[in-house]
Structure 1
Amino acid sequence: MIILGIGNLHHDPAACLLVDGKLVAASEEERFSRNKHAFGEYPLNAIRFCLEKAGLKPEDVQAAAHPSSPEAYDRHKWNYLRRSLFSRPSQALKAVIKADSRKKNFLETPRKVLKAAGFREDLPLHAIEHHAAHAASAFYFSGFPDAAFLTMDGSGEFTATMLGAFDRQGKMRMIREFIVPDSLGFFYATMTDYLGFEHDDGEYKVMGMAPYGDPSRFSVDDFIRYENKKYRVNDRYIYAVRRQRYQQDKWFSKAMVDRYGKPREGDALSEPYIHIAAATQKKLEDITLQLIDDYLGEALEASGGRLCFAGGCALNVKLNQRLIAHPAVKELWVQPASSDAGLPLGAAAMIAHGAGDKIEPMRHAYYGPEYSDAEIEAVLKKTSYPFRRETSITETASKLLHEGHIVGWFQGRMEWGPRALGNRSILGNPTVKGTADRINEIIKFRENWRPFCPSVLEECGREVLETEHDSPFMTFCFNVRENWKARVPEIVHVDGTARPQYVSREHNARFHELITRFREKSGVPLVINTSLNRRGEPMICSPEDALKMFEGSGLPYMAIGNFLVSKQAI
């Protein structure tokens, strides 16, 4: 069956295409519009790309699916009213009163998207519950025969967390859910605001800041507690409603500032904020593990310890490190597009499974656009910088890396999800001290205390990192082995960990060859890998985007297709 997935229609809109259970194309709208997170945009460019990649027209699509269920919204609004009537009565009543208009919007907006993209009006359109779509995006593409699942984010149809299981027939069973304002995602996002970053964007910075602090030096118990098998968020401080907010675009309250002091400003690390970050991270981890203990014990035992995880919180690799270490969890699979960009994938998978399609597991994340050498050369001819076609681009790039240079790496199909996995990357030598600082100074302009990640040859991962777990998508964090810390200092975070990508020859032969050639020269089976973009921009998608970034930054070299572009004569 040919199924188009579309959504989310608020932030991170995206599209994907399943053909007889095989994911053939997927991309976020921001990659085309160049607006980070593409707030409020229809995923029209993403839809067009998916169809073109599959060689299909709108009339070939047999069904569409989107991740917003009017029925779920109706069902949960009363729970939200009961929970919030006393703490935020105006907000609670308004949500219920506006339920019908919200439901109408859930029904009409996806149809508007399909119409704008040229689809027929009678195309079957399936509405899938937000958290069910997250769960499906993880389970159906994991390759597991059965598994427990966990989904966590801000909210979707009022649900913030869902725990459950999939059986061997692929049927989903919900065990427990939590309704806003009791949201771990909103708790973490609010603390992200307070710590000087943007909610819905800077949460990973809080995670990176946390190891510099001591969680025992600040308590977040006034903000969120776990008692009697449930957690409860104090909305006097967290995810405050409009008139209670410190500022209208911030989610923390005036009361929080009055009691705990002004929010953090600037890029430097300082007290007490590093301790607040540490306490925030620890609380997220502790509550999540308590949820696993209280609700998923039987499901994990029945499935042999298999757990699937999706939703925005699943991108927290320190949390995932704790989950892997849980004695009941033997295997953990995290959807690489765990943000709301991954929702259309889960929605489409639910319909595909119901139609009897056998869904192929995701073994890689290269489902985006790609460009031929002819297309690349046509763009490069517009630049004044020298470029040339290389006999072996991997040999040239590995030599530059070994010499200590920073190299942009633009190859093959673009990654699906937020992580650069060796096709839209900036690469560096992890053995040369100061490489990370140079990448920051001339290209990324980000906080200098944030870690950079390694891409490691799959066959060498366990040699460098203390784990037996696979890591193809940079969704996990592991301790670096002691004998490697001094050898590759540029990828080791302050707590001795790294967030690796294991690179396989099967799924990315060219990137694997590059690292292999670098290893032959250096003795080191890994490179620094960060996303090919500047601060505040989406990841580079097209050759035009790449050239614009190259010309507008200090990036000295770019390997794009089989061409090398340089700021110097070559």
Structure 2
Amino acid sequence: MLICGVKTTHDGGVALVEDGRLVFSIEMEKLGNNERYAKIKDFATVFELLAEHGYRPEDVDHFVLDGWYKTHKVQSWHGQEFEAVLAPYRRGLLDDDLLRAYPNSVQDLPYLSFTHYAGHVASGYCASPFARAGQGSYVLAWDGWMFPFLYHVDGRTRKVTDCGPLMPVIGDSYLQLGQLFAPFDEPIEYPHILGLAGKIMAYIALGEVRPEAVEHIDRTIDAAFHAVLAGRPDDDRFYQVGNGVEILKRIKKSVALAGVEPADMLASIHHALERRLVEGVRRKVAAADLPDRNLVVVGGCGLNIKWNSALRDSGVFGTVWVPPFPNDSGSAIGTACAAMLTRTERVALDWDVYSGPALKDSTPLPGWHQEPCELRDLARLLHDNDEPVVFLNGRAEIGPRALGNRSILAPAGSPKMKDLLNEVKEREFYRPVAPICLEESAPEIFSPGTPDPYMLFDHAVREDWKDRVPAVCHLDGTARLQTVNRAENAAVHELLTHYHELSGIPLLCNTSANHKGSGFFPDVRSAMEWGRVRLIWSDGTLFTRAD
């Protein structure tokens, strides 16, 4: 069966699943240097991507559209407007079945739609190792416009149980509360406001958690919650978008506390929400009393590596897993998975993280020299020159993180490299630079250093390595680690192995290769036009700017 999932709103994307295998997942931002978080502007793009991969619209058994809080969306099709009717954001009005489909059609083309939360839950569970093993799992879904909800998916029956909300705070609260404090109190235009949460998460390393601020935040949240949902705290039908926005408005009015510096206040907000999240999960799991101790984390808040780590370290679960696309970049995959769960016998998705667009052919710019360059030679160049290299290889990563195929790689032995990379990327000084490390060597350098192929957990840099790899050591002594083994990415693993032999260091700095405010470079020429790095390596060829 061929299922085509489509996410039309921000982080727009198209995913094709054939008999349980992900053929491709392409986000609009990764096409032609499009703006970050780009929407699907014309539905013709869906059919163009199908044709590019050898499929026709009539080959598709089910087109599936992701749900949204505005259920009637005006779309364009070759410039002609039409209205698409979508499923709601979290749940329908008729029942509590998360995987209830909303069928419809437009211009004689039938399609399904599932709620936005159904897509998150389905993407996380179906892509997880638990689904492949036939095991059940809890799924924590916390997205921008919704409270965090805990679900349980039975691996045998596919039954999804709603275990209820964890706390009365919608995901957008993190960035909206952060905007009340310097240096984030300047207006940021949509859609780039969507990247603010990541900046706040980095900035809190400059602050200190203040107990009096945490107590004040707790009181403020409780007061706002009871004012809006007084007398109805046990009825989760009231945990809807409108009530969440109203609660947030009330919190924002009084969350500041005199005498607490902005960095400390931001750190305290982060800590207060983290503690409520862990306590909420612990309470719901105890009430559910199910044998499974697996957890999948999805929704935009699944990109918060510190919260993921707190859940991992809580002792509630045996294994915590986060997909590389927990936010809306995985919604096209998710809504396709919802259809797979309800329209086929398959539960587990067969997928690869490098299922994005292939590199486009392009003509090099004048002034660039090119020559063959094996990975061993590139490792020598990195070791001897101590400068960054744009590394473009194969198909792009899916999800928001550069995982080696659309990366800028650089030696980590100098503290100046972090400043250089932030300058090259036009980023703030407090932003961390991630390490990409041989999986087998990670425990020696990081704690815990467990496999983390998608950069989704927090790891402390061990004391005896902080002076050896200062460029990847964040202000609080942690790192957003990516581990790599040969099966996951053979080219990057080989490069790191050669570099390790030369330097004694089994890692490099890794940051995304892109224009500021755009998705990953789609071709070599884009990196040349950007021009902020002198060396570009792509599929065995080294390009060097002549000047």
| Bin of the TM-score, shorter chain as denominator length | 0.7 to 0.9
Gaps of 5+ in 1: 74-101, 113-118, 241-251, 262-269
Q: Is 2:128 aligned against 1:142? A: yes
Query: Structure 1 residues 370, 278: CA separation in 2 closer, same or farther (over 3 Å shift)?
Result: same
Matches within 5 A, 1:59-458: 59-68=58-67, 102-105=70-73, 109-110=83-84, 121-144=107-130, 145-155=135-145, 159-169=146-156, 170-177=158-165, 182-195=168-181, 196-197=183-184, 198=188, 199-216=193-210, 218-219=213-214, 220-221=217-218, 223-225=220-222, 238-239=248-249, 255=253, 272-297=261-286, 302-303=291-292, 305-361=293-349, 364-371=352-359, 375-376=361-362, 379-380=363-364, 383-392=365-374, 394-403=375-384, 404-441=386-423, 443-458=424-439
Q: Residue 90 of structure 1 aligns with which residue?
A: none
Count of aligned pairs between the two proteins: 492
What is the CA-CA distance between 1:309 and the residue it aligns to? 0.8
The 2-side partners of 1:234 and 1:384 are apart by 54
Q: 1:558 aligns with which of 518, 533, 536?
A: 536
Q: Residue 79 of structure 2 aligns with which residue?
A: none
Q: Deviations over 1:103-154 (max 9, x none)?
A: 4449964479xxxxxx984444111111121011100110202101100012
Query: Structure 1 residues 215, 506: CA separation in 2 closer, same or farther (over 3 Å shift)?
Result: same
The 2-side partners of 1:106 and 1:350 are apart by 23
Helix, strand or coil at the partner of 1:184: coil
The 2-side partners of 1:275 and 1:191 are apart by 13
Q: Deviations over 1:348-370 (max 9, x none)?
A: 11111223343555664111111
Q: Residue 477 of structure 2 aligns with which residue?
A: 496
Query: Structure 1 residues 188, 109: CA separation in 2 closer, same or farther (over 3 Å shift)?
Result: farther
Kept in 1: contact 2:11–2:37 (CA 8 A): yes
Query: Structure 1 residues 399, 327: CA separation in 2 closer, same or farther (over 3 Å shift)?
Result: same
The 1-side partners of 2:323 and 2:288 are apart by 19
Q: Which amino acid aligns with 1:200?
A: L
Kept in 2: contact 1:68–1:106 (CA 8 A): no
Q: Which amino acid aligns with 1:135?
A: V
The 1-side partners of 2:349 and 2:441 are apart by 24
The 2-side partners of 1:68 and 1:32 are apart by 23
Query: Structure 1 residues 487, 162: CA separation in 2 closer, same or farther (over 3 Å shift)?
Result: same
Q: Which amino acid aligns with 2:115?
A: E
Q: Is 2:7 aligned against 1:3? A: no
The 2-side partners of 1:43 and 1:430 are apart by 44
Q: Which amino acid aligns with 2:125?
A: F
Helix, strand or coil at the partner of 2:267: helix
Kept in 1: contact 2:437–2:506 (CA 8 A): yes
TM-score between the two structures when normalised by the length of structure 2: 0.82
Query: Structure 1 residues 140, 369: CA separation in 2 closer, same or farther (over 3 Å shift)?
Result: same
Kept in 1: contact 2:166–2:280 (CA 8 A): no
Q: Which amino acid aligns with 2:153?
A: F
Query: Structure 1 residues 299, 562: CA separation in 2 closer, same or farther (over 3 Å shift)?
Result: farther
What is the CA-CA distance between 1:191 and the residue it aligns to? 1.9
Kept in 2: contact 1:16–1:26 (CA 8 A): yes
The 1-side partners of 2:74 and 2:220 are apart by 32
Q: Which amino acid aligns with 1:154?
A: G
Kept in 2: contact 1:457–1:515 (CA 8 A): yes
Query: Structure 1 residues 48, 260: CA separation in 2 closer, same or farther (over 3 Å shift)?
Result: farther
The 1-side partners of 2:46 and 2:503 are apart by 40
Q: Which amino acid aligns with 2:271?
A: K
The 2-side partners of 1:302 and 1:106 are apart by 45
What is the CA-CA distance between 1:414 and the residue it aligns to? 0.5
Kept in 2: contact 1:26–1:50 (CA 8 A): no
Helix, strand or coil at the partner of 2:171: helix
Gaps of 5+ in 2: 76-81, 87-104, 227-232
Helix, strand or coil at the partner of 1:447: coil
The 2-side partners of 1:407 and 1:223 are apart by 48
What is the CA-CA distance between 1:429 and the residue it aligns to? 0.6
What is the CA-CA distance between 1:271 and the residue it aligns to? 7.5
Helix, strand or coil at the partner of 2:486: coil
Helix, strand or coil at the partner of 1:215: coil
The 2-side partners of 1:147 and 1:314 are apart by 16
The 2-side partners of 1:529 and 1:46 are apart by 31
Query: Structure 1 residues 183, 51: CA separation in 2 closer, same or farther (over 3 Å shift)?
Result: farther
Matches within 5 A, 1:518-533: 518-533=499-514
Helix, strand or coil at the partner of 1:201: helix
What is the CA-CA distance between 1:291 and the residue it aligns to? 1.4
The 2-side partners of 1:46 and 1:432 are apart by 45
Query: Structure 1 residues 193, 384: CA separation in 2 closer, same or farther (over 3 Å shift)?
Result: same
The 2-side partners of 1:146 and 1:106 are apart by 38
Kept in 1: contact 2:329–2:400 (CA 8 A): no
The 1-side partners of 2:196 and 2:432 are apart by 14
What is the CA-CA distance between 1:424 and the residue it aligns to? 0.4
What is the CA-CA distance between 1:391 and the residue it aligns to? 4.3
Q: Which amino acid aligns with 1:510?
A: A
Kept in 2: contact 1:367–1:413 (CA 8 A): yes
Q: Residue 460 of structure 1 aligns with which residue?
A: 441
The 2-side partners of 1:59 and 1:318 are apart by 45
Query: Structure 1 residues 501, 46: CA separation in 2 closer, same or farther (over 3 Å shift)?
Result: farther
Helix, strand or coil at the partner of 1:133: helix
The 2-side partners of 1:256 and 1:537 are apart by 36
Query: Structure 1 residues 291, 120: CA separation in 2 closer, same or farther (over 3 Å shift)?
Result: same
Matches within 5 A, 1:480-519: 480-519=461-500
Q: Deviations over 1:411-437 (max 9, x none)?
A: 110011100000000111111220111
The 2-side partners of 1:299 and 1:356 are apart by 28
Q: Residue 25 of structure 1 aligns with which residue?
A: 24
Kept in 2: contact 1:165–1:173 (CA 8 A): yes
Kept in 2: contact 1:454–1:501 (CA 8 A): yes
TM-score between the two structures when normalised by the length of structure 1: 0.79
What is the CA-CA distance between 1:17 and the residue it aligns to? 0.5
Kept in 2: contact 1:166–1:173 (CA 8 A): yes
Q: Residue 91 of structure 2 aligns with which residue?
A: none
**Percentage of matched positions with identical amino acids:** 28
What is the CA-CA distance between 1:540 and the residue it aligns to? 1.7
The 2-side partners of 1:490 and 1:14 are apart by 34
Helix, strand or coil at the partner of 1:479: strand
Q: Which amino acid aligns with 1:406?
A: P
Q: Residue 78 of structure 2 aligns with which residue?
A: none
The 1-side partners of 2:469 and 2:289 are apart by 37
Q: Which amino acid aligns with 2:175?
A: A
